[in-house]
Amino acid sequence: MTWRRRSPRSVTVTVCPDGPLLVRGADEVIDEAGVAHEVRRPCVALCRCGRSSLAPWCDGTHKVVTEEAAKRNR
């Protein structure tokens, strides 16, 4: 009997303007403290604004950040 290894998935990263990074194909995300976070969805969103309460995942807070910035610039 032989076993065939699953061919490695390609990992893609998509940048969302004023939003997170969408990452597909990764098994885990390692944060700045070196802690590995398991990827349990087909696509994950990584925080880019630095304000997420669920880091490394995005929690939508960037919308509040960009709205505040827009108000300041008005």
Which residues would be at the binding site for another protein (CB under 8 A)?
16, 19-20, 22, 40-45, 53-54, 57-61, 63-64, 67
Q: Which is nearer to another protein, 30 or 65 (CB)?
A: 65
Q: Which is nearer to another protein, 30 or 68 (CB)?
A: 68
| Number of separate helices (H) and strands (E) present in the chain | 1, 5
Q: Which is nearer to another protein, 2 or 10 (CB)?
A: 10
Residue 15 pairs in a beta bridge with: 21
In this structure, what are the phi and psi dihedrals at residue 62, rounded to the nearest 5 degrees?
-55, -25
